[in-house]
Amino acid sequence: MQKQVNQQERRARETRSLIGRILSYLFLTLWALIVLFPFYWMVLSSVKSYSAYNSEYVPAFFTLQPTLQNYADAFSAVPLGRYFLNTLIYTGVTTVIMIIVVVLSAYAFARLDFTGRKFTFTLFLSLMMIPNELVVITNFVTITNLGLRNTFTGLILPSVASVFYIYLLKENFEQVPDELYKAAKVDGTTDLKYLFKVMMPICQPTIVTIAILKIIECWNAYEWPGLITDNQAYFLVSNGIQEIRENGFGRENIPAMMAAVVVISLPLILLFLIFHKKIMEGVSRGGTKG
C-alpha cells in the first residue's frame, strides 16, 4: 500500500518536472524568436522587390521571388561603400592607438616604480565615473576650434582614452610573476623589450578581449561622429544609416534601406560568430552596456 502511494507520488513529480522542462524550453524559444525576429525581418525585407514590398498591405512572412537588386541600389544610391571604408579606418586606427596607450600605461602601473604612482592610479580610477556627456561638450568645441571637423584626426583623438581597459590590463599584468622580471633584468633586457617579448604574449587573451570590445564600440559609435562630421565623405555607418533614413532613397524605399542595414550589421555578426566565446567572456569581465 505504502509502496503504491510512493510510486504514484514519484510519477506525479516526474510529470510535473517534465511539464516544467517543456515550459522552460517553450519560454526560452519564445525569447530566442523575439531576439532573432528583427534580423529575419531585415533580411527578408531586403530581398523583397520594391514593388512587392509596397503592394503588401499585410506584410508577408516570406517571399518566393527574392532579389538582390536592393543591395545594388543601396551601394549605388548612397555612398555606402564610403561609409564602410570610413568606419573600417576609424575602428582600426582608434583600436591600434588605444592598445598602444593602454599597454604602456598598464605596464607602468603594474611593473614600474615611480613617485606618485598610487596617486595617479587613483586619479585614473576616479575618471571611470565621469560620463561621456560631461566631456563631450568641450571636446566638440576643442575639435571645432582646431579646425578638425570632418577629419579622421578629429574623429579618432577623443575616442582613444579608455581608463577601464588600463585597469583591466594592469590587473592582468600584475599576475605575471615578479621572478620573470628580475631574471630578465639580470640578463640585461630592457623594459620595453620585456614588455613586448614577455608580458604581451602572456597577457595576449586580455589584450585581444580589449581590442574586440573596442572594435564593437567603434563600429557602433554614433554620437561623437554625429557631432563632428556633417560632410558625407566622413560619415561612419551609424550616421550613414541615419542619413539614409532621413534623406536617402526617398522615405518609401524600405527594401533598399534594409539592404543597407544588413550590410552594416554583417561585419559585427560575423565577428561574433567567429569569436562568440571570447566576446561573451570578455563582456562578462569588462562590458558595461546595460
Partner 1 sequence: MKMNRFKGWLYLLPALLFLGCFMLYPLVDVVIYSLEEGYNSASQTYFGVGLYNFSYVLHDPYFLQAVKNTLLLVVITVPVSTGLALLISMLLASIPKLRDLYQTVFFLPYVTNTLAVGLVFMILFKKTPYSDGMINALLALFGGEAVDFIDGPYWAKMLVMCLYTVWVVMPFKILILTSALASVNPDYYKVARVDATPKWRIFTKITLPMISPMIFYLVITGFIGAFKAYSDEVALFGTNLNAAGMNTIVGYVYDMLYGDSGGYPSYASAAALILFAIVLTITVINLLVSRRHVYYS
Residues 15-54 that bind partner 1 (CB under 8 A): 20-21, 24-25, 27-28, 31-32, 34-36, 38-39, 41-42, 45, 54
Which position among 78, 80, 199, 227 is part of the footprint of partner 1 (CB under 8 A)?
227
The helix (run of H) or strand (run of E) holding residue 70 is helix 69-77
Q: In a 10 Å sphere around its CB, with 0-12 CB exposed, 13-18 middle and 19+ buried, how is residue 173 labelled?
A: buried
Q: How far apart are CA 137 and CA 229, in angstroms?
A: 15
Residue 57 touching partner 1 (CB under 8 A): yes
Instruction: Judge contact between 207 and 99, C-beta under 8 A.
Output: yes
Residue 280 touching partner 1 (CB under 8 A): yes
Residue 161 touching partner 1 (CB under 8 A): yes
Instruction: Judge contact between 172 and 206, C-beta under 8 A.
Output: yes
How many chain residues touch partner 1 (CB under 8 A)? Answer: 90
Contacting range for partner 1; rule: CB under 8 A; set: 3-11, 72-80, 168-176, 251-259: 251-259
Ramachandran assignment for 277, one of left (phi > 0), alpha (psi -120 to 50 degrees), beta (any other): alpha
* Minimum CB distance to partner 1, residue 137 (Å): 5
Which position among 70, 91, 94, 105 is part of the footprint of partner 1 (CB under 8 A)?
105
89 vs 124, beta carbon nearer partner 1: 124
Q: How far apart are CA 144 and CA 255, in angstroms?
A: 37
Which position among 14, 19, 59, 274 is part of the footprint of partner 1 (CB under 8 A)?
59
